[in-house]
Amino acid sequence: MSIYQSLQSVTDCKIGQIALFGALLVGVYKITVFTLSLSSLVLDLFVLPATDFKKYGAKKGKWAVVTGASDGIGKEYAFQLAAKGLNVVLVSRTQDKLEILATEIESKYKIETRVVAFDASTDEKSNYTALEQVITSLPVTVLINNVGQSHSIPVPFLETEEKELNDIITINVTATLKITQVVAPIIAQTVAKENKKVRGLILSMGSFGGLLPTPYLATYSGSKSFLQAWSSALAGELKPQGIDVELVISYLVTSAMSKIKHASLAIPNPKNFVKSALAGVGRRNGAQERFATSTPYWAHAFMHFGIDQTVGVYSKLANKLNFDMHKSIRVRALKKAARLAAQKKD
């Protein structure tokens, strides 16, 4: 029986038949798109080989700049890029920690390092000048924009302290953009000198807090959402110059920022997260609906894909669930703070 005959058997009304045929086409289209997206996600995460960083100058004397390099995810980026054969410029606030880390990396991986003490919360011109002086003569091909800050605990926007608000915007947005303005021209020069035999790479750290509008983390959420649009726009601008730009989205990772100490199925440690991020460069992984974006850790990828394919990241339901979760976290955090304060008095 043909499709037309099947529709006739349901209704004799021409308008009804047209409506049913239209619904059938939409259904076939939706199923096809879902199947292709899911297949692409599985290929990206589990089948395709890890990205070869030789195309970014690994083992060819090239350099990577890593911000927020002294702890957590930034430290892992520095270690793993060094392991791939890139020299590393370590950028973070504390000189002593940077020097210790530099010595460890040089000893372990037999590569070169430079350090730049850089307090991103101050937005001082001297920070950017110091960074430029260190890298201006280096063949830099990779920039990892990892420096970032969130709220100390979930907080209503109208109760957010001015310093915390300013620090989040300055660190997550202003410093990231200005550091990129310093480093990206050096990357472009390096790529041009190599006649595009190597490519450049700029990775910036995003967050589920920016993927989903997040009540009680409104300023942080807005700053990470800004980075999404900025990274995608920058990707279009720099692609003709041989520079790949991606936003890397993560859910929770064990770190000082998240205040989570123990890894789980959905919450990796920095080592496993960074491994997935570097392996998946150039692929969307869970960010199937987004340009120049990757959600690389497999559990986060399926979460991202699932949200996008069901309620949607901007839906009322997603917003309400996020609101309830972060309100609950705030209540528990305030109770804990009150207990600690009472214990100090005793």
List the catalytic residues: 220, 224
Residues 245 and 200: their CA atoms lie apart, in Å, by: 8
- Which element (helix H / strand E) includes 143? strand 140-145
Q: How many Å separate Cα 22 from the centre of its chain?
A: 39
Residue among 269, 270, 305 nearest 286 (CA): 305
Residues 129 and 235: their CA atoms lie apart, in Å, by: 25
Q: How many CB atoms lie within 10 A of CB 221?
A: 25
Residue with tokens 């209540």: 331
DSSP 199-260: -EEEEEE--HHHHS--TT-HHHHHHHHHHHHHHHHHHHHHGGGTEEEEEE--S--SBTTTTB
Task: Look up residue 48 and give its two tokens.
Answer: 């395709």
Task: Look up residue 202 and give its two tokens.
Answer: 């700029």
Count of all residues that appear for the chain in the document: 346
Strand 200-205 to strand 243-248: parallel, antiparallel, or no bridges (unpaired)? parallel
The set of residues, in sequence order, having a beta carbon less than 8 Å from that of 196 and lying 6+ positions away, is 242
Q: Which amino acid makes up residue 200?
A: G
Residue among 121, 321, 303 nearest 216 (CA): 321
DSSP 9-67: HH-S-HHHHHHHHHHHHHHHHHHHHHHHHHHHHHIIIIISPPP-GGGGTTTTT-EEEEE
Residues 330 and 214: their CA atoms lie apart, in Å, by: 13
